[in-house]
Homo-oligomer: A and B are copies of this chain.
Amino acid sequence: MGTLPASAEEAVARLRREVGDIHQELVRYRLVVWTAGNVSARVPGHDLLVIKPSGVPYEELSPRDMIVCDLDGTVVDGELSPSSDTAAHAYVYRHMPHVGGVVHTHSTYASAWAARGEAVPCVLTAMADEFGAEIPVGPFALIGDDSIGRGIVETLSGHRSPAVLMRSHGVFTIGKDARAAVKAAVMCEDVARTVHIARQLGEPRPLAQADVDRLHDRYQNVYGQPGAAR
């Protein structure tokens, strides 16, 4: 185990609370069952992340349970074992410096697209707003080394979408902080479900690329309260 630098203590304390609490949004939107999803956040200004412990029920998560790891996934502070997906989260933070939050779920509709290895086409204005493109499919990758992290980074680098459907597996989302990544996970399941249902009885009409571009640009720059997280 490493050592938590004194200068990180305040941010870590805050993120233990925030990351612990925001798991409730995964529960509320039914994106997770049992203990199968997880959220992490980068500790700003430090090569550290805060992540959920492995196999602990969401209703029992306390700030104290959250684990602090370095960006190789080694535990620096915390009594429990970190999420078994920690290596993937850490890889993303190492290779995508603008990312401040990562979320992983097996949410039903998104995972169904992932099981077929099929991207969710961008056919709704809400999807153009949030994703700016289709939600892409990443490679099949086994847990245990950097394969999943590499698959996420390679798929999302240069892509507008903050969500990737990892083939035969589930969803990873990224954001400027944990809340933004959770929002992307919620919206990903929402549009994956709506487009699935639309396609059950025919073909959704495509959106013109120019309209997708305009919607995405506007939403990323205008929506919400000035200065607030979207």
User: Which residues of chain A have a CB within 8 Å of any CB of chain B?
Assistant: 29, 33-36, 53-56, 80-81, 84, 106, 108-109, 111-113, 115-118, 123-126, 140, 142-144, 167-170, 183, 186-187, 190, 193-205, 207, 211, 214-215, 218, 222-226, 228, 230
Provide the residues of chain B in CB contact with A225, threshold 8 Å: 53-56, 80-81
* 8 nearest A-B pairs in the assembled complex, by CB-CB distance: A55-B224, A115-B204, A115-B198, A112-B198, A112-B197, A125-B169, A116-B202, A33-B190
Minimum CB–CB distance from A166 to chain B (whole Å) comes to: 8
List residues of chain B with CB within 8 A of the CB of A205: 115-117, 140, 167-168
CB of A42 to closest CB in B, whole Å? 22
Contact indicator B115/A168 (Cβ below 8 Å): no
Nearest opposing residue in chain B for A126, CB measure: B106
Give the CA-CA distance A140 to B206 in the complex, in Å: 11
This chain: copies in complex: 4
Tell which of B84, B142, B201 touches A222, judged by Cβ atoms closer than 8 Å.
B84
- Report whether B183 and A116 are in contact in the complex, using a CB–CB cutoff of 8 Å: no
Cβ-defined contact, B34 with A186, below 8 A: yes
A-B contact list, 23 entries, CB within 8 Å? A35-B224, A54-B225, A55-B223, A81-B224, A81-B225, A81-B226, A84-B222, A106-B194, A108-B190, A108-B197, A112-B204, A113-B198, A115-B123, A115-B124, A115-B204, A116-B205, A118-B201, A118-B202, A142-B214, A144-B214, A167-B205, A200-B200, A200-B201
Establish whether residues B84 and A111, one from each chain, have CB atoms under 8 Å apart when the complex forms. no
Contacts A84-B223, A196-B200; A124 near B106 (Cβ below 8 A): yes
Shortest Cβ distance from residue A100 to the other chain B in the assembled complex, whole angstroms = 18
A26 to chain B, nearest CB (A): 12
- Residues of chain B contacted by A169 (CB below 8 angstroms): 124-126
What residue of chain B has the Cβ atom nearest to residue A144's Cβ? B218
Q: In the docked arrangement, what's the CA distance between A189 and B168, Å?
A: 17
A142, B211: Cβ atoms closer than 8 Å: yes
Question: Please, which residues of chain B bring their CB within 8 A of the CB of A190?
Answer: 33, 106, 108
Instruction: Indicate whether A168 sits within 8 Å of B125 (C-beta atoms), given known contacts A196-B197, A202-B116, A218-B143.
Output: yes
